Structure formats: C-alpha cells, structure tokens
Amino acid sequence: MVFKGGVNLFDAYKIRFCNIVEEISSDTPPEVFNFTLPSEQSVKHIIVTLCPTEPWALPNWVTLGHKTTVFLDKIKELQSTLFPEAKCSVVIINNETEHISAAKEYAGMNEWLEVFVIDAKYPYDDPVVLSKAILNKDINFGQDTLSQGILVFDAQTALAIHKSRILNKSVNSRFIALSGTGLKENEFIKVQLGTTLEKILKNRVKETAPYRVFINGPLRGMEIKDFAQKIDWTVNDIVVLAAQDKKVMFPMINTDRLHFTTNLLGELRACVYCNFCDDICPVNLEPALYYHCYNKGEKQKVRSYDLEKCIECGLCSFACPSKIELLRIIKECKLPDEQKS
C-alpha cells in the first residue's frame, strides 16, 4: 500500500456486496425527511458528489441505477427552480467510467454544469477538500462550506430534495450499505427512517465473536453502543467489525483473521519519525509535530502548526506504525482551553 496524500482504500479493503437491495420497514410510523435548504441568495455554487471514496460507502449505482442522464435532468430541475443563480458541479470518482462519459457528454450540451473527475482516494470526497480542489477556494479546514456559498450534497440527498421540493412527495426511506467482518453478508438495504439499529442488525450479525458497530465508516464515523438508536438521514453506511480483542497466533500468516477488524495490528511504541503520517496526510500537515508538542504539554504551540487545516480524516492514526492516537491528540488540541475537562 503506498501512502501519499490520501490512500486508495478500495485496494486495501476489497468489499463485495450482494447485488439485491432488501427493504426494511420501521415498526413505528416512519419519520419524514425534511431538508432545511439555505436561502437562494446564499448559495453560489452547488457541488453534487458522486464520489464515495470509502469501499464501505454506498456506491452510485444503488441510488442512480445506471441512469446518469435522468439524474442530471433532475439536478437541472433542482438548480433552475431552487438556486437559479448558482453554478453546479458534479464530481465523479475515476473508477466509474460509465457515469463519467455520460456526464461529460451531458455537460457538453449544458453550460450550467461542470464535471470533475477525482482519484479514488480517501478522503478526496471531503467537502472542504473538494471546494479547494474544484473551486480553488481557500476555505479554512473544518469551516462550514456553506458560509462560503458552497452547497455540497451527495446523490441520494439530491434525489430526496428533488422528490420532496419539486415533486412534492414525502421521503421516508433511504439506501444504506451494510458491510464488515462482523456480518454474515455485505448488502444494501432500503430502510424507513426511524428504524432501530437493532432491527437492521438482527439475524445479520455473526453472533459467534464480539463485534462493534460503526455508523458512516470506521475511519470518520461514530461507534454505536446503544442499538435502540434510530436511523436518520445522515446514516450512509453501517459497518460491523469483528472486535478481535484476543491475541492471534502467527499474525504474519493469519492476516485474514486480523484484516478489517478493530485490532490495533501492533503495539504502542514511541514515535520513530518515520514520516508515514505526513506522507499520507491529504492536506500536507505534519502530525508527528503535534504528538511531540502535546507530550511536552505545549498545546498552545500545537495550534501554531496549521492545526486548523486538519480535516480530521484520521489517516495519520491509521498509518502510524507506532499506533499513536494522533487524531485524538488533534481533536483535544483543537478544543479551546476552557472547554477541556
């Protein structure tokens, strides 16, 4: 695996999904999706992201089918009705050649649309990274892109806004990708909003070994301990990983047992300045400096090393061979002094 300014997770984690989309309904009346759109004047640019850079995220074909032109027609309708002044860009990941050629052909005939192709590297789909790459806007990392007049949304949200605002129909379900080593099978599901996690995971999880559940991926997402939690619109994918909290014999040959689990895959050691963290950093920071300043108790100094640029993608902690919790240090140092407990 070569780490240089982001990482191609598709190569590292090959996840095969079952092609059938199963529908799951809620026990309670489903919640209705309600997207609060910003005012017409505040949006100068719309970016539609067809670029999931994580292998466990929902791929485009589930939401779009293979009908790129139909989707782009809907985007056109959305743009002309809701934000007539705004320009629109569609960003597509470079392994989706079918969508790229269709969208480029469409953009050739429609001036309001621009098509961008990005590498299948995590975290190139981050709103801040995208705004910087596409619009060359120098947005401070971590800042809301909307404050700069840039509205970023994914394919599924775009379709939902179209359905609710243009067609005036209610949206109460969404597609979710279910994957991970803790599951019997990787699959896509269509869930009614408000369904509990417990209902989704029932009969799908391998009960033989301990597992952990993450919403929106194990890199940037949250760990969920309370399975009574309900699914809302922000849930794109659910990843269930084997915890693998026991020692595995001969890890060199039994790599399949440790791969894609929550195991640290190594022991905590001192930083050896190996440059893995700054090589992999997509925004060109030097995370090891934060670690050393933090260890000396100089949190103020940490902030002077462009800390605000960090997009918290977690790749520095991911790549660290000494297994240092760099992202935790970064998050802690970002908090203002008085909030620290």
Interface with other proteins by CB under 8 A: which residues? 1-3, 12, 212, 214, 218-221, 223, 241, 243-251, 253, 255, 258-276, 278-279, 286, 288-289, 301, 304-306, 312, 314-315, 317-323, 325, 327-328
Burial of 106-133, coded b for 16+ CB within 10 Å and e otherwise, reads bbeeeeebbbbbbebbbbbbbbbbbbbe
Contacts of residue 202, Cβ cutoff 8 Å, sequence gap at least 6: none
Instruction: Name which of 66 and 323 has its Cβ closer to other proteins.
Output: 323
Identity of the residue, 182 or 194, whose beta carbon is nearer to other proteins in the bound complex:
182
DSSP 12-63: H---PPPSPEEEE--SSPPPPP---PPPTTT--EEEEEE---STTSPPHHHH
What is d(CA 25, CA 39) in angstroms, rounded to the nearest whole number?
Answer: 34
CB of 57 to other proteins, least distance (A): 14
Q: Which is nearer to other proteins, 34 or 255 (CB)?
A: 255
Nearest approach, Cβ of residue 322 and other proteins (Å):
6
Nearer residue to other proteins within complex by CB, 282 or 314: 314
- For every residue of 275-320, DSSP letters joined together read SHHHHH-TT---HHHHHHHHHTT-HHHHHHTTGGG-----HHHHH-
By the 10 Å C-beta count (0-12 exposed, 13-18 middle, 19+ buried), 172 is classed as middle
When the beta carbons of 3 and 61 are compared against other proteins, the nearer one is 3
In the β-sheet with 113-118, what is the strand arrangement from edge to edge?
A: 113-118, 87-93, 45-50, 150-154
What is the Rg, in whole angstroms, of the alpha carbon atoms belonging to the chain? 21
Q: How far is the CB of 167 from other proteins (least distance, A)?
A: 38
Contact at 8 Å (CB) between 269 and 323? yes
Nearer to other proteins among residue 66 and residue 269 (C-beta)? 269
User: What is the closest distance, in whole angstroms, from the C-beta atom of residue 170 to other proteins in the complex?
Assistant: 34
How far from each other are the two terminal CA atoms of the chain, in whole angstroms? 39
79 or 322: whose CB is closer to other proteins? 322
CB of 6 to other proteins, least distance (A): 13
Distance of CA 29 to the CA centre of its chain: 28
- Residue 31: CB minimum distance to other proteins, A: 27
Kindly state the smallest distance separating residue 7's Cβ from other proteins, in Å: 8
CB of 274 to other proteins, least distance (A): 5
Burial class, 71, CB count within 10 angstroms (exposed 0-12 / middle 13-18 / buried 19+): buried
We find the least distance from the C-beta atom of residue 257 to other proteins, in angstroms, to be 8
Label the pairing between strands 87-93 and 21-24: unpaired
Instruction: State both tokens at 123.
Output: 């975290």
Output the CA angle 287-288-290, nearest 5 degrees. Answer: 70
Nearest CB to other proteins, comparing residues 195 and 262: 262
Question: Closer CB to other proteins, residue 106 or residue 260?
Answer: 260
